[in-house]
Amino acid sequence: MTVSTTSPTPAPTPAPTPPAVAADAILRRQRARESSARTYARSFPVVPARAYGTTIEGADGRRYLDCLSGAGTLALGHNHPVVIEAVKRTVESGAPLHVLDLATPEKDEFTDALFATLPPVFAERARVHFCGPAGTDAVEAALKLAQTATGRHGLLAFTGAYHGMTAGALAVSGGVAVKRPVSGIAADVTRLPYPYAYRCPFGVGGERGAELSAAYTERLLDDPNGGVVPPAAMILEAVQGEGGVVPAPDGWLRAMRRITAERGIPLIVDEVQTGVGRTGAFWAVEHSGIVPDVMVLSKAIGGSLPLAVIVYREEYDRWSPGAHTGTFRGNTLAMAAGAATLRYVAREGLAERAAEVGARMTARLDALRAELPAIGDVRGRGLMIGVELVDPEGAPDACGARPPAPGTADRVRAACLERGLIVELGGRYDSTVRLLPPLVIGDEEVEAVLDRLADAIDAVTGGREAARGGVVRRSAGRRGAGWPA
Ligand SMILES: Cc1ncc(COP(=O)(O)O)c(C=O)c1O
């Protein structure tokens, strides 16, 4: 394995100039015809025509640095030559593109590539199940597997979690707004406090908050009057992504592993967003050294194409044939692109590069707090970075955190787009700007991303002017900030 020290962004693949399309007309038609539940298209009125590496070119000719990367899917950025080559080779080979879950050379190769990346003690005795092509379906599979294997029902899940949009995944997720209209869907879930140093559920912050979370979990499970029937599984993310980029301390993860192991509760780690080098290790569990019972994998494992699997300890393999079936579980192209991606990330040391570039970005963002007081917290792991925006004039809570500023965050996202930078929001009240650049982002692109983001925050909040002692510009961003009603 080699560690790339220079920018590994490949040169843009020459591609024919896209036919001129009327971007405005496309946006208008899709707005009129698509569901009101559409998501990213609302915040990013862009019609992507070409893309390579970190760059998206809109049909209107504008270029953007993409730090959303398909919500963390594009480990190698857009249309990486390694991915394109794997897709072309597979298409030209005449291999069937759809095979249900039949055996194929591509599936064999993907499984080899995947198992080679997993923690060896886990891989040695693991099974893989190919799921429907979304992370949420793999979460459903993991929950069903654990319920079948244990004969129990209840689930332990965490505040701030995001596991997907289907019934079981939604039930174990934290977001209240999306659950409220469909509350009948809720499974038997016990909600536990996830350690979040900046907005600590116990009001103490730091490592102490994580220690209290572990102690509370353990006591609750052992309390004969605690109301929790022995559960089928605990599900968690090592770094909550949609939840606002909140990394759990390694010690807390080890505590969860010990607590679940001692009580015979399967531990499901959802690595849908954290996997394939994103956090600075190939899998996020490697930071703490824990070995889960089930890992849920999707997004980057398909090398831009839809693919989702669970990998689990073989003793849990007690479900029946067809227990989690589905039509689209044999995507030949995704397996070819995924195998090529997994091997490339490992060979080029891109997890290590993510750790190094992520540390550099986080340090620079942290330093910006002195001149941009709307930056309340900067956190993350590797190239999964969160910048939580706050109302700098709001009263701090017991841990020193100022009120979240969703209005500011919304305007910062728009100001970034105006500056040619795509960033998404997440976390409590959607107040955290999330950076998920490709692992191959180049050094110059890193500087451009940070400059554009800092400039956008400054433009919205007037922070630099205030820090210099000038008259504070009461921008709409600041007036609109504060706790939402
Ligand atoms: C941790 C985690 N789990 C599950 C999912 C759901 O994946 P999908 O959107 O492919 O259903 C996501 C999506 O963002 C995720 O971040």
Give Cβ neighbours of residue 290 (< 8 Å, ≥ 6 apart).
253, 254, 256, 257, 267, 269
Task: Tell me the whole-structure pTM to 2 decimals.
Answer: 0.93
| Ligand 1 surroundings by CB, under 6 angstroms | 71, 134-136, 139, 162-164, 237, 241-242, 270, 272-273, 298
- Residue 296 CA, ligand 1 centroid: distance in Å: 10
Comparing C-alpha atoms, which of 402, 384, 351 is closest to residue 248?
384
Domain 84-347 class, CATH top level = alpha beta
Give the position, in ligand 1's atom list, of the atom nearest the Cα of 273: 16
The number of residues in the chain equals: 485
Local confidence pLDDT in tens for the 485 residues of the chain: 444 444 555 545 555 555 557 899 999 999 999 999 999 999 999 999 999 999 999 998 999 999 999 999 999 999 999 999 999 999 999 999 999 999 999 999 999 999 999 999 999 999 999 999 999 999 999 999 999 999 999 999 999 999 999 999 999 999 999 988 886 666 799 999 999 999 999 999 989 999 999 999 999 999 999 999 999 999 999 999 999 999 999 999 999 999 999 999 999 999 999 999 999 999 999 999 999 999 999 999 999 999 999 999 999 999 999 999 999 999 999 999 999 999 999 999 999 999 999 999 999 999 999 999 999 999 999 999 999 999 999 999 999 999 999 999 999 999 999 999 999 999 999 999 999 999 999 999 999 999 999 999 999 998 777 766 665 443 333 323 223 32
- Residue 272 CA, ligand 1 centroid: distance in Å: 6
Smallest CA separation from ligand 1 atom 8, residue:
135
Domain ranges of the chain: 23-73+350-479, 84-347
Structural domain 23-73+350-479, CATH architecture: Alpha-Beta Complex (3.90)
Q: Are 348 and 2 in contact (CB under 8 A)?
A: yes
In angstroms, the CA 188 to CA 232 distance is: 10
Secondary structure class of 358 (helix, strand, coil): helix
Supply 432's token pair: 């955290």
- Residue 261 CA, ligand 1 centroid: distance in Å: 25
Give Cβ neighbours of residue 26 (< 8 Å, ≥ 6 apart).
47, 59
- Residue 427 CA, ligand 1 centroid: distance in Å: 14
CA angle, 253 then 256 then 261, to 5°: 130
Smallest CA separation from ligand 1 atom 7, residue:
135
- Residue 426 CA, ligand 1 centroid: distance in Å: 13
3-state helix, strand, coil in the chain (%, to 5): 40, 15, 45
